[in-house]
Amino acid sequence: MNAHYPVHSHSIEGFSIVDAKYPDVRMKRNAVNALQCIFDKIGCTDQIVAVSGHRSLAEQVEIYNGSMRDNGRSFTEKYVALPNHSEHHTGLAIDLGLKQEVIDFIRPEFPYDGICNKFRKTAPYYGFVERYQSDKEDITGIAHEPWHFRYVGHPHSEVMDKEHLSFEEYIEYIRNFTYNKEHLRISGNAGKEIEIFFVPCHTERVEITIPEHSIYQVSGNNVDGFIVTILR
């Protein structure tokens, strides 16, 4: 999702609170579970704060208009997504901040050292990526946001991290691996093999065959097809 492709659903079904101390910050349950695994792994619950998770359309309108009023157009267009185009609508994005007495809601501090960088380096193993990198502004359309993380799921997060791909670049990359051609193959834990491929969808119905006794996931790319992940 970006300025070119709006969100298609504002459903909040299956959402959970990220941290009981901040009951207004919610994400989809699978993203919350993965985030909690990272927090537990690096022991950061008293050092990192969940600043902003899911936002309704009305909330994004309020944030956008408030930033336009207080910070001006140039700042707002760099750091605040247009209403209906924010990743926060999906429930898969989270803004994190270093725990301080005062936290900037739009640009929380999340440096490239200490516990914050430990989180950043651990995140891809649990499905999260730093969404808006410093050298990808022309691609993402958003300025560098070291505090904004997106749950894309594993192993996609590891591929994006290893290849240094933005989400937009990863969507294009996966197009090279289609259902009827070569699939992207990754070695998983315990001798498991993971296959990833793209299925274009230009009609109401598309049929593919999944190997028996396989665990699989199908995710829409919000543009023109589906990304299929199979664990053999």
User: Residue 13 corresponds to which amino acid?
Assistant: E
The one-character DSSP state at 161 is H
Q: Give catalytic status of residue 145 as yes or no.
A: yes
Helices (H) and strands (E) in the chain, counts: 7, 10
- CB pairs under 8 A, 24+ apart, for 73-78? 78/142, 78/143
The pair of three-digit structure tokens given for residue 15, joined into one six-digit string: 């959402």
- CA 31/CA 34 separation, integer angstroms: 5
Marked catalytic residue, from 145, 168, 195, 207: 145
Other Cβ atoms less than 10 A from the Cβ of 154: the count is 18
Q: Residue 4's Cα: distance from chain center in Å? A: 17
Question: What distance, in Å, lies between the first and last C-alpha atoms of the chain?
Answer: 29
Write out the catalytic residue numbers: 145
